[in-house]
Amino acid sequence: MTVVVICAGGPEEEVVSSDFLLSFHDAKFIGADRGTVYLLNRGIIPDLAVGDFDSLTDEEWQMVHERIPNIERHIPEKNETDTELAVLKALIYKPTEIILTGVTGGRLDHYEANLHILYRVQKMHPSVEIKMINHYNCVQFLWPGQHKIISDHYFKYLSFFAFGDVIKNVTLRNVLYETTDEIIDMGTTRFTSNEIIGDCASISFSNGICLMIRSIDDKE
């Protein structure tokens, strides 16, 4: 199993802890723009740094240039965001899982762009599990079929939203609020803040794209 961790240049407080980053065995790390500095600050030398690096100071760029052997620097005037470039590079490693951090918070247009990158790449590569994670949330897309959801001692709450179309025949099992052949409409909040009972839960549905968000309350 190959895990690629991408650290992007969103607000640094949105980046997961060093303990989490280092919990993956033999993970590949990619720094996207300022996310490269965030990784170096945590004692992690990325396998690759990519982006235009226009957010770095001269001193920070010098540090990146000296410490990272594999850098792809792009001009600022480009069609792709730095995060998108990093995700596309992650696919070269043929990963089973891609984790993005430092992609939430700050500018909402950046967050929305990252969410759509996640959607597009997940659609193109359905066998790769792709997640956006910060201290309080884990976001991923699910396609029609049945999905096993392993209980997580950290992310307590479980929410489901329709992304672009109605989700049909939604069946939830081993959760606090189970359903059978229900519908998740666009705009509904009914499927927010469920909880897993036991070691794992499941969701199945026949149509639509499901945005699943696993969360913890910041008071916990």
Distance CA 51, CA 31 (A): 8
Same domain for 39 and 79, yes or no, is: yes
Which tokens go with 5?
């961790």
Q: Is 188 part of a structural domain of the chain?
A: yes
Predicted pLDDT of residue 157: 94
Same domain for 151 and 123, yes or no, is: no
Distance CA 104, CA 11 (A): 8
| Residue 120 near residue 28 (C-beta atoms within 8 A) | no
Which tokens go with 39?
């990784």
Q: Which among 115, 135, 155 is the end of a domain?
A: 135
Q: What is the mean pLDDT of residues 177-191?
A: 96
Q: Residue 193's pLDDT band (boundaries 50, 70, 90)?
A: very high
Q: Residue 155 sits in which domain range? A: 141-215
Same domain for 146 and 120, yes or no, is: no
Same domain for 56 and 107, yes or no, is: yes
Predicted pLDDT of residue 22: 86
Residues shown for the chain: 220
Against a cut of 0.85, is the pTM above it?
Answer: yes
Q: Is 220 part of a structural domain of the chain?
A: no
Q: Which among 135, 155, 178 is the end of a domain?
A: 135
CATH number of the domain within which 147 lies: 2.60.120.320
Q: Which among 135, 166, 197 is the end of a domain?
A: 135
Distance CA 100, CA 41 (A): 17
Strands 129-133 and 97-101: parallel
Predicted pLDDT of residue 28: 96
CATH number of the domain within which 97 lies: 3.40.50.10240
pLDDT digits (tens, 9 = 90+) for 114-139: 899 999 999 999 999 999 999 999 99
Q: Is 67 part of a structural domain of the chain?
A: yes
pLDDT digits (tens, 9 = 90+) for 14-68: 999 888 888 888 899 999 999 999 999 999 999 999 998 988 999 999 999 999 9
Same domain for 149 and 205, yes or no, is: yes
